[in-house]
Homo-oligomer: A and B are copies of this chain.
């Protein structure tokens, strides 16, 4: 598949590299074509790896992954507005504000979420919130956390969620570990959970931390 990965930070690099290893053609998108980190990445990941502006990356893509920093995602996606219509847009970003130190607070929470903001701003895009509850290395290699643990998707488009679930399975997530939480408003829950993730990261001193949902039958 031709996939645009928006964002040149650690999350974008790790996801883009995994997609290349799975045989996809990947364009890493940045604010401007020729971004130093994107050029370096494309230059070391074979013929399927390219780089360009956010708009360039999205224009040629069948699927788009938002791996920009959450506080700037809306602005980044705005630069690619035209190409987003009709495409599956996987939002893995968290709207974190580190200006007050660690742990960060959220730029949006409680009564709204980044996932919802993106879906409202780009109504033609088929937004699926996914993978934001784990560190990027775990996103693409869930076995870094041993044993059973779960991941989540939500969004308004059922077919888009099925496509993203298939992508997650190709990353190594068992089908029954991908929990569909419903429409895009569940992004509030997935983003706010990250506050707990950050405390667990601090408590245990490892980013390889995740949760398993456990339930009774009553």
Contacts of A148 in B (CB 8 A): 214
CB distance from A138 to the nearest CB of B (A): 8
Chief secondary structure at chain A's binding surface? mixed
Docked pose: A156 CA to B203 CA in angstroms: 15
B189 adjacent to A196 (CB under 8 Å): yes
Contact mask A199-218 → B, CB, 8 Å, 1/0? 11011101111111111111
A193 interface hit (Cβ, 8 Å): yes
Name the one of B109, B192, B207, B217 contacting A206, with C-beta atoms under 8 angstroms: B217
A182 interface hit (Cβ, 8 Å): yes
A180 interface hit (Cβ, 8 Å): yes
A146 adjacent to B214 (CB under 8 Å): yes
A31 interface hit (Cβ, 8 Å): no
A182 adjacent to B202 (CB under 8 Å): yes
A195 interface hit (Cβ, 8 Å): yes
A121 interface hit (Cβ, 8 Å): no
Enumerate 20 A-B pairs (CB-CB under 8 Å) in ascending A order: A103-B189, A105-B110, A109-B109, A109-B110, A110-B110, A144-B216, A146-B216, A147-B214, A149-B214, A181-B199, A181-B200, A188-B195, A189-B198, A192-B193, A207-B218, A208-B215, A211-B211, A211-B213, A211-B214, A212-B212
